[in-house]
Structure formats: C-alpha cells, structure tokens
Structure 1
Amino acid sequence: MSHEMIRLNHIVISFRQKKQIIEAVKDVTVHINQGDIYGIVGYSGAGKSTLVRAINLLQKPSAGTVTVDGDLLFADGEIQLSAAELREKRRDIGMIFQHFNLMARMTARENVAFALKHSKLTKAERHAKVDRLLDLVGLSDRADNYPAQLSGGQKQRVAIARALANDPKILISDEATSALDPKTTKQILKLLQELNQTLGLTIVLITHEMQIVKDIANRVAVMQNGHLVEEGSVLDIFSNPKEELTRDFINTATGTQEALAKIEQQDIVVNLPQNAMLVQLEYAGSSTDEPILNDIYKHYDVSANILYANIDILDDTPVGELIVVLTGTESRLEQAKNALTASGVTVKILKGGA
C-alpha cells in the first residue's frame, strides 16, 4: 500500500522586492503519494517551481508545513531538522532541470560520480554504481563522452543518472524536457515512467505542457498566479475540467483548438444547413464501447458527419472527443442530444441548433 510521500500544507511563499512583498505561492496544499507521477502545470510565473523548491527547502516557506516521507521538515516558520539531518533528507530528493546543469569539463561518468563524492562507498563500489546508473538510463556507451559530445536527450539522461546517484525516493523534474524536441521528449518521459515503475520512484513534474502530464502522470495540479486552481486524477481533470485555464491547457494538449480553427472554415460549417448543428462530444470510459453515433441514426434518423476525433488512454481508461455535424429534424435532433447525454456523453453545441 503506498503511503503519503509529500505533504505541503497551506504553503505561502513571499519575497520582498523593491520595498513590496510579492506572494509567489498563496496558501497551497498538495499531497503526493509514494509512487505517484504528479504533474504541476501552469504558465510561467504561476509559482510552480517556487512551490516545488519548498519540498527540499531550497525555498523556505513564509508559512505552512512541509512533511516528506513522514518527517516534518518545516513548521511554525522554522526548519525542524538540524543542518546534518536536512542534508541527509535532501539526498532522498533528486532534481533534473531544463538546462541539464552538467559540468562541461567532466565526462558523463565523472558527472554522475560527482554526486557520490560524499557517499561512504569505496572507489570500486562507486565505479560499479556509476556504471549501473549509466546503464539504467541507456547511456553505457557514452560514459567517456563530454557533455559537448552529447545530444540534448543524452545530456538529460546523464542528469537523470546523476539525480539517481544517492538512491532518492523522489525525483523532481523542473521543465526537464522543454529544451528537447518532441521525439526526444517522448523518450525521456518513457524513461521516467520506467524509473517510476521499476524503482517505485515518486516523480514530481513541473511543466507548462498538459501533453506531458497526459503522457505519463496519474495526478495533476493546475496553478495560476500562485494559487492552486484545480487538482485531481489525470482522468478526472481531462474528462471533467472545472476551470477555464485547465480547459485551455487540455485543448492545447489534445489539439482540439487547432482542429476547431480549421473546422470553422470548412464549407459545411460556414454554410451549416438549417436542419443541422455542429457539436463537440466528450466521453470517458464505458460509453466508448457503444456504437453511439450508429444508434442515433438507427433510432432517431439523425446522421453524423465526423469532422474531428481524438481518443486518449488515460490511466487505462479511453477518453475521447468528437466534433460532428448532426443532421435531422429539430425534434429528432433534440431527442438524439438527450440520448447522447443519457449515455454519459457531454454534448456542447458549437453552432446551429435551437
């Protein structure tokens, strides 16, 4: 049974800047379970990185409590551990960043070994561990290369191996794929997913892209201007977003916005017939097993012209959306709409309809 790995309760983080107080994080509570891949999404300046830096107290909160793996790290405005205890605790928390932060004059092997310089391992044990880590991230053949000789994805693999050197329980990824191309991003995300599964690593992903969350996370928090605006399982948030900001992020991730812009220019939509309406259908889970559009044609004589479709599997559950033109008499369209809603499909009329 997984336990709670990270508890951030009522975290406030404020800075003094030119005689005024800036509140970067405003009363945010986040609980992350052991083994979660937890995505924190928001635009630049939302407070994501500042909040996450409170986990290892690289950023000291102004108020709130921080508990990691059952140990209270921060409460009543004070760090609750001695300097040595905090150092020890920080070893449980690895970090990777957008710009890799590798040392240019060290080989891949030396970069990873550097993270072990305070460990109690013998030289031979250290060497074996570095080899094992490079193997784990698929970089054994590049051990003696310098960062300048490595691609972006390879550098990030070295950075991941280095972050894992002290056998952390938590890995924090701060926009770690935003400097990488889409194909490399997918490979790095797949690696993170494998590390999560094989090592039971709890991963906290900071990102401005919902696509990344959609690919590997199981829970997500959305931040805006220092506030937590929405939080839940990826399945819940994607199939039932409550906030406009969350919907924006999701529409970008699923490509719906781009599709809609093109659809609106299509002749069938520009000159939408009198007896037709353009609708967006969204569904999750079992409703995808039924031939719904087939049924409304059979029962209500309403035909459906599919202009766009997208299906994702989130947490083993199919989640999909369609943009279709439904055509039929006014009363039949109303019946079909009610039948769709009754079968668990969210129907949003984009154009036409009574």
Structure 2
Amino acid sequence: MSNDIIKLEHIDVTFHQKKQKIKAVEDVTIHIERGDIYGIVGYSGAGKSTLVRVINLLQVPSAGQITVDETVLYGQGAVQLSAAQLREKRKDIGMIFQHFNLMAQMTARENVAFALKHSPLSAAAKAEKVRKLLELVGLEDRADNYPAQLSGGQKQRVAIARALANDPKILISDEATSALDPKTTKQILALLQDLNQKLGLTIVLITHEMQIVKDIANRVAVMQNGRLIEEGSVLEIFSNPQNELTQDFITTATGINEAMMKINQQKIVKNLPSDSILAHLKYTGAVTDTAVINDIYKQYQISANILHANIEILAHVPVGEMVVILSGAAASLEAAQTSLKEAGVELKVLKEGSSEC
C-alpha cells in the first residue's frame, strides 16, 4: 500500500470569465505522504489556494486525477463519488483559514460543537469531545467566551479545534497565520507541529512566506502562475534551490537580503582592501560543527572578519550561512577557498578588493 495520503496528478483548473479562459492551475502533480507537514508556497495569484481546494473538491478540476487515502475522488473527467460519499470523505479533511470563520453569536464551545451537529454521538459524548478539543488547543478556560472576547491567536485555536471535531486525517491551513502577529504565528505553528506529532495528522500549509515553511514543514512545493516550479524536502530546497523565485523566497526567509543591505553600507566593505574578498559561505550538516574559519587561519594565515552568521535547524539538520571578509596573500586566499569548498562549504565571492581602495 502506498504511503501517499494525497495524490494530485496532472491537475488543471480553468476558469471561464466572459470570453476569456484563465488557467489557475496547470498540469500540477503532487504526492503528499501520511504524517507530512507539506508547505505550498507562492505569491498571490500563484494558484496555491485553488490547487488545495481541489483536494476536497471544493474546486472541481478541469482535468487530472485526485486520490485521497486510496479513494479516487476525481478522474476521467468526472467526480467519482456520490454526493453522500463525498460528504463522508470530506470529514477526513479539516480546514482552517486566515480569518477564522467563527460564528460571532456562538461561544468557543458552541463553535466547536457546531461541527458535530450531524454526529451520531450522544449530547454528553459531544460535550466531552468539545471539552477535550478545547483542552488540546489550550483553550479549556475560554470555552464560554465569544469570538469578540478572544485574541486573534485564540480565535485560530478555536478554528483548529473545530476543524479537528470529526477526527480528520488531513488538516489544510490556508494562510491561517497571515492575520496574526509574529509571536502568535510561532505559537500557532508550534501547536500545528504538536498536533502533527500527537495525532499523526497530515498538514498541508498554504502560505506566501517561506519562513513559515522553514519553521515546521518537512516538504515544500513552490508555485508560480499556476504551475509547480520546484518541489522537494525543505532541506533540499533551502540548501540548493534550482529556481530564481525559490531563491527569492529563501533569501527573504533567512534574512540574508536585509543583512546584505546593511553589510554593503559598511566602510570596510565599500573600501575593501586589495588583499581581501567579501564572501558568502553556505554549509550543511556536519560542516556546521567544524571550525573551518579557524582552520584556514591556522593553515593559510587567512584572517576572517565575520559580518553576518546564522544557523537554522531544518528537518533536524543544521544549515548555516556566513558573510565574511577573508584577507591574506593572494595565493593563500586561493588555497583557502579551495580548502573550504573541499570541506563541503559552498562559497560565493561577492566582491574582490581593489588596490584603488
């Protein structure tokens, strides 16, 4: 049996507006394994929300095949389930959204209970399930509060509890942290990660921020203009992006662009001495535990002025980068660069010193 819980194969979604045909999604194939936290990243209009609405047929595709948990939902140009079967299948797929979609006139408890309206459980069993769900998301003490009495993060926790009411196998998060401040975003992401581990929940994250994917996802797909342009493990994508747009997302997520703007304003960089280079170093895994900068000083007498350094842990693997001025004799500089590359460090010279400085 395949470990894929979601298989989207050659998905097209075409909208007809007046006399125009708009391809929102074009020939996209994605396989998501059970227990994955899978990020789909793209700017507005990339087609990511449309693609994800295909998973539970809130958006019927124009072509392709959709398989969820071994059941073909759509194929050969038609929905393959009856209306009743589709309703039942949709219980396996919970959804949370940017603006929470809570009912203002209901308390937190009532909002969660609403999802159990058609459940065969007794009233007492429903009440106990709602209590446990609010406890699971850390809101047991807010059960009788109305949405207006809750913060944005608390509202999203209620929405998550409601999405979990029917014991789904999959949770879709459609820009669910976009309306939240950075601290609350981290708390909600930590909650999603916890639910993924505790419940074995497969989570599909739609976002325009690679930072969110970096924080909790294990795989990522990048979309642009309705097409899938890159896909792989978060470690692969961050270590070796193949596409310019992916690189753009990553430099924003790691903060290197912002760092470079400040670095380029420094006097030492503007007037880089002739015996120096400004270099960007990237390294992964065991290399992060090695004193490579110290080694090149000892071996080649190359001094290092570190202007920026950062280490992330992606999928339990350390990934680091550094912007550094390396200074020394020309032959030693060449030898040191070769040594760093042989040690597994990706090195890019950003600027060479000039004798005119």
2: CA distance between counterparts of 1:211 and 1:191?
Answer: 16
Aligned partner letter, 2:258: E
2:320 corresponds to 1:320: yes
Corresponding residue of 2:290: 290
Give the conservation status (yes or no) of the 8 Å contact 1:2–1:34.
no
- Distance 1:27-1:353 versus aligned 2 partners, 3 A rule: farther
C-alpha deviation, 1:301, in angstroms: 1.2
Match of 1:224 in 2: 224
CA offset digits 1:165-193 (Å, max 9, x no partner): 00000000000000000000000000000
1:322 maps to a residue whose letter is: M
Instruction: Tell me the equivalent position of 2:78.
Output: 78
Asked whether the equivalents of residues 273 and 353 of structure 2 are also in contact (C-alpha less than 8 Å), the reply is: no
Q: Is the 1:2–1:35 contact (alpha carbons within 8 Å) kept by the matching residues of 2?
A: no
Separation (CA, whole Å) in 1 of partners of 2:40 and 2:51: 10
What is the rounded CA distance, in whole Å, between the counterparts of 1:252 and 1:234 in structure 2?
Answer: 15
Q: Which residue number in structure 1 is paired with residue 114 of structure 2? A: 114
User: Does the CA contact (< 8 Å) of 2:42 and 2:48 recur in 1?
Assistant: yes
Partner of 2:65 in structure 1?
Answer: 65
Describe how 1:1-354 pairs up with structure 2 within 5 A: 3-352=3-352
> Aligned partners of 2:30 and 2:331: how far apart in 1?
48
Check whether the contact 1:220–1:231 (CA below 8 A) recurs between aligned residues. Answer: yes
**Separation in 2, partners of 1:2, 1:321:** 37
Counterparts in 2 of 1:2 and 1:177: CA distance versus 1, 3 Å: farther
Asked whether the 8 Å contact 2:284–2:318 carries over to 1, the reply is yes
| Equivalent AA in structure 2 for residue 24 of structure 1 | A
Query: Which one-letter code corresponds to 2:143 in the other structure?
Result: A
SS of the residue corresponding to residue 279 of structure 1 reads: strand
Cα shift at 1:105: 0.4
SS in 2 for 1:101: coil
- Rounded to whole Å, the distance in 2 between the matches of 1:273 and 1:103 is 64
Structure 1: which 5+ residue stretches go unaligned? none
What is the TM-score normalised by the length of structure 1?
0.99
- The one-character-per-residue Cα deviations of 1:293-344 (angstroms, maximum 9, x if unpaired) are 0111111111111000010011111000000000011111111111111111
Q: Counterparts of 1:142 and 1:289 in 2: how far apart (Å)?
A: 45
SS at match of 1:237: helix
CA distance in 1, matches of 2:2, 2:218: 14
Q: Secondary structure at the match of 1:178?
A: coil
Structure 2 counterpart of 1:80, one-letter code: Q
* Paired-residue identity, %: 72
Following TM superposition, by how much is the alpha carbon of 1:27 offset from its aligned partner in structure 2, in angstroms? Answer: 0.4
Distance 1:316 1:155 in 2: 31
Amino acid of the structure 1 residue aligned with 2:213: V
1:353, distance to aligned residue in structure 2 (A): 6.3
- SS of the residue 1:269 aligns to: helix
Q: What amino acid is the match of 1:86? A: L
Give me the whole-angstrom Cα distance separating, in 1, the residues matched to 2:2 and 2:184: 31
Q: Residue 307 of structure 1 aligns to a residue in which SS?
A: strand
Give, in angstroms, the shift of residue 76 of structure 1: 1.1
- Answer yes or no: is the 8 Å Cα contact 1:137–1:161 preserved in 2: yes
Amino acid at match of 2:253: A
One-letter amino acid of the counterpart of residue 67, structure 1 = T
Distance across 2 between alignment mates of 1:63 and 1:337:
51
TM-score with structure 2 length normalisation? 0.98
Shift of residue 2, structure 1, vs aligned partner: 8.1
1:3 CA displacement = 1.4
SS in 1 for 2:100: coil
SS of match in other structure, 2:40: strand
Q: Which amino acid in structure 2 is aligned with residue 42 of structure 1?
A: G
SS of the residue 1:176 aligns to? coil
- Contact between 2:272 and 2:353, CA under 8 Å: does it hold in 1? no
Matched residue of 2:81: which SS? Answer: coil
3-state DSSP of counterpart to 1:132: helix
User: Root-mean-square deviation (CA), in Å?
Assistant: 1.1
Structure 1 residues 3, 75: CA separation in 2 closer, same or farther (over 3 Å shift)? same
Q: Which runs of 4+ in 1 moved over 4 A?
A: none
**CA deviation digits over 1:68-120, x for unaligned, max 9?**
00001100110001111100000000000000000000000000000000110
